[in-house]
């Protein structure tokens, strides 16, 4: 069954809406929400190019679709049909675009479209029982295929992001250290020039001073 639904803007990972859940039928709900946010963060960096993907996590699977720079994600039991999960997301996507499409780019705060939860809950109920005639018909719809949608493990997906984070941090550190070394090199060069020319400048200054004093006396 469908356990969790979240919608986020791909460009910056900003959460736009969420299917609110009382948590009674989902243990460790906050843990999985944090995983979803980490996935959104990865997507905002362009680390997963697939517009449709399934990501296994414990006894559940995250399914997501990306369209119009928005990610629509749901978490279901592993036994829940993949085909139904993606058709559920298609229904969520179509309604969200219809109602909020013109405001997505200008949304400035998290969960700006929290009222969309009403539609999520209503649609979620339609997809909960896979044995209804409606859902059986959807499962038998040969025009909607999901066989080519890639399935990966959450550690693999998030691990890529962690490795890239480490590379980015190392690069930033090296850049910072190079800047420090460059500044130190400039300081050393400046000090060397001062040590080299300071005596000459002092001699010239003394000569000019003596010349000026002599001119004043005479």
The DSSP secondary structure of 8-21, one letter per residue, reads EETTT--EEEE---
Residue 114 to residue 117: CA distance in whole angstroms? 6
- Higher-pLDDT residue of 117 and 159 is 117
* Lookup: tokens for 80: 């829940």
Residue 169: is its pLDDT beyond 50?
Answer: no
Residue 210: is its pLDDT beyond 90?
Answer: no
Query: Would you state the pLDDT for residue 29?
Result: 82
pTM over 0.75: no
Ranges 78-92, 162-176, 198-212: which has the least confidence = 162-176
Average pLDDT value for residue range 67-72: 92
Report percent pLDDT > 70 for the chain: 79
Q: Strands across the sheet with 2-9, in order? A: 15-18, 2-9, 70-77, 60-67, 52-57, 150-153
Residue 40: is its pLDDT beyond 50?
Answer: yes
Residue 32: is its pLDDT beyond 60?
Answer: yes
């Amino acid at each position: 069954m469908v356990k969790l639904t979240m919608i986020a803007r791909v460009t910056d990972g900003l959460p736009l809406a969420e299917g609110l859940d009382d948590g009674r039928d989902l243990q460790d709900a906050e843990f999985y929400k944090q995983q979803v946010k980490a996935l959104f963060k990865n997507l905002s960096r362009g680390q997963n190019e697939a517009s449709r993907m399934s990501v296994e996590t414990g006894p559940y699977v995250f399914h997501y679709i990306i369209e119009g720079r928005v990610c629509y994600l749901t978490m279901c039991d592993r036994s829940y049909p993949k085909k139904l999960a993606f058709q559920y997301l298609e229904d969520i996507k179509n309604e969200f675009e219809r109602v909020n499409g013109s405001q997505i780019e200008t949304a400035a705060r998290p969960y700006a479209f929290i009222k969309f939860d009403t539609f999520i809950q209503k649609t979620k109920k339609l997809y909960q029982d896979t044995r209804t005639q409606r859902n059986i018909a959807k499962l038998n719809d040969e025009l909607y295929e999901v066989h080519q949608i890639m399935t990966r493990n959450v550690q693999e997906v998030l691990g890529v992001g962690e490795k890239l984070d480490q590379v980015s941090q190392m690069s930033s550190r090296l850049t910072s250290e190079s800047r420090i070394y460059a500044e130190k090199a400039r300081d050393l060069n400046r000090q060397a020039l001062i040590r080299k020319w300071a005596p000459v400048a002092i001699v010239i200054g003394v000569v000019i001073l003596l010349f000026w004093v002599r001119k004043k006396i005479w």
